[in-house]
């Protein structure tokens, strides 16, 4: 974590929100509870053993991580006709990120958006990414080492950061399958500063997508398509609800309000 000394300023115990002190490869809270730093990645998962949907998808994505990007680009193009890399560029352009914006990316997968985000916020802006799958974080390390993204192993429903730590938060793909999606969205709002950008989205076919074998196949491959969107959390204003990815996904963008 030496290159990310700022990260220790905003990291907190995910259970108690206490400050943490680094001692070697451990992060320690005042009562002695410790969390390991694994290959440079702080592991701040709470609860320590994932349950329900979180446990199920954590195991799956640890296995799936090395082939995630190839499958999304290849199968995604076959099933939707979309140019997936171009869709990613378009999606990030909707966020309104500026140079110097500090950002937390939740569930980055293997890091497919990180180069694009860096291009908007610049090389010096603080950038952290958190995922429950260590396999995905390992892929981020391999793919984007030069981008200096601070990686953190944690549960999105119990983010290990102080209140108002970032100017923006971005999540795309996963919230439909979280064990506690409403809790995660409340956490998204908590860790962003007042006036900052809170954005999230996931799969979800719009009414413009015709029924057919492709749609049925997608829902069998990814049950997230069948899950209802979690309600928009309190504490946001200027909310925009957008169709993205040719109608195969949605994106919600808001600003953290003052009350």
Domain annotation covers residue 159: yes
Instruction: Report yes or no on 228 lying in a domain.
Output: yes
Q: Would residue 11 count as lying in a domain?
A: no
Contact assessment for residue 200 and residue 224, using Cβ atoms and an 8 Å cutoff: no
Asked, for residue 10, whether it belongs to a domain, the answer is: no
C-alpha–C-alpha distance, residues 241 and 201, integer Å: 9
Is 215 domain-assigned?
A: yes
Q: Is residue 3 part of a domain?
A: no
Pairing of strands 127-131, 103-106: parallel
Q: What is the 8-class DSSP label of residue 28?
A: E
Q: Any bridge partners for residue 243, and if so which? A: 250
Residue 41 contacts by C-beta under 8 Å, 6 or more apart in sequence?
A: 134, 137, 141, 151, 152, 153
pLDDT per position in the chain (259 positions), as tens?
Answer: 544 689 999 999 999 999 999 999 999 999 999 999 999 999 999 999 898 989 988 998 899 899 989 888 887 777 778 899 999 999 999 999 999 999 999 999 999 999 999 999 999 999 999 999 999 999 999 999 899 999 999 999 999 999 999 999 999 998 988 999 999 999 999 999 999 999 999 987 566 666 666 666 666 666 766 778 899 999 999 999 999 988 888 999 999 997 6
Asked whether the beta carbons of 80 and 245 are under 8 A apart, the reply is yes
Predicted pLDDT at 2: 46
| Rounded distance between C-alpha atoms, residue 247 and residue 80, angstroms | 10
Residue 187 maps to a domain: yes
Q: Would residue 197 count as lying in a domain? A: yes
Q: What is the pLDDT of residue 144?
A: 92
Give the per-residue pLDDT at 80: 79
Which residue matches tokens 């979280």? 178
Alpha-helix residue ranges (DSSP H) falling in the chain: 5-10, 52-64, 68-80, 84-93, 114-121, 134-144, 181-190, 213-221
Angle at 115 between CA 78 and CA 178, to 5 degrees: 65
Q: Is residue 244 within 8 Å of residue 95, measured between CB atoms?
A: no
Q: Given this model, what pLDDT does residue 252 score? A: 97
Question: How many structural domains comprise the chain?
Answer: 1
Q: How many angstroms separate the Cα of 217 from the Cα of each of 107, 209, 213, 257?
A: 24, 13, 6, 40
The secondary structure element, H or E, covering residue 122 is none
The CATH number of the domain holding residue 193 is 3.40.50.150
Number of H helices, E strands in the chain: 8, 11
Residues sharing a CB contact under 8 Å with residue 248, sequence separation 6 or more, in sequence order: 80, 82, 203, 204, 205, 206, 209, 218
Number of Cα atoms under 13 Å in the Cβ half of residue 162:
12
58: tokens are 């954590």
Q: Which domain holds residue 47?
A: 41-256
Helix (H, G, I), strand (E, B) or coil at 257: coil
Q: Are strands 166-172 and 127-131 parallel, antiparallel or unpaired?
A: unpaired
């Amino acid at each position: 974590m030496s290159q990310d000394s700022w990260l220790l300023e905003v990291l907190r115990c995910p259970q108690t929100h206490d400050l943490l002190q680094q001692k070697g490869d451990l992060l320690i809270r005042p009562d002695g509870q410790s969390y390991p730093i694994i290959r440079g990645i702080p592991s701040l998962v709470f609860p320590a053993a994932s349950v329900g949907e979180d446990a199920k998808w954590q195991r799956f994505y640890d296995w799936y991580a090395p082939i995630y990007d190839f499958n999304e680009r290849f199968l995604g193009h076959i099933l939707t006709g979309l140019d997936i890399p171009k869709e990613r560029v378009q999606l990030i352009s909707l966020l309104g990120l500026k140079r110097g914006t500090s950002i937390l990316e939740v569930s980055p997968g293997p890091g497919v958006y990180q180069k694009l985000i860096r291009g908007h916020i610049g090389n010096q802006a603080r950038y952290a990414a958190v995922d429950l799958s260590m396999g995905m974080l390992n892929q981020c390390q391999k793919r984007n080492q030069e981008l200096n993204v601070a990686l953190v192993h944690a549960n999105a429903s119990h983010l290990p950061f102080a209140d108002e730590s970032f100017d923006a938060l971005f999540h795309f793909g996963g919230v439909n399958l979280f064990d506690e999606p409403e809790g995660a969205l409340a956490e998204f709002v908590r860790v962003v500063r007042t006036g900052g950008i809170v954005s999230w989205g996931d799969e979800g076919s719009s009414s413009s997508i015709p029924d057919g074998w492709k749609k049925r196949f997608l829902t069998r491959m990814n049950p997230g398509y069948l899950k209802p969107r979690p309600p928009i959390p309190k504490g946001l204003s200027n909310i925009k609800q957008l169709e993205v990815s040719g109608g195969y996904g949605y994106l919600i963008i808001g600003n953290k309000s003052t009350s």
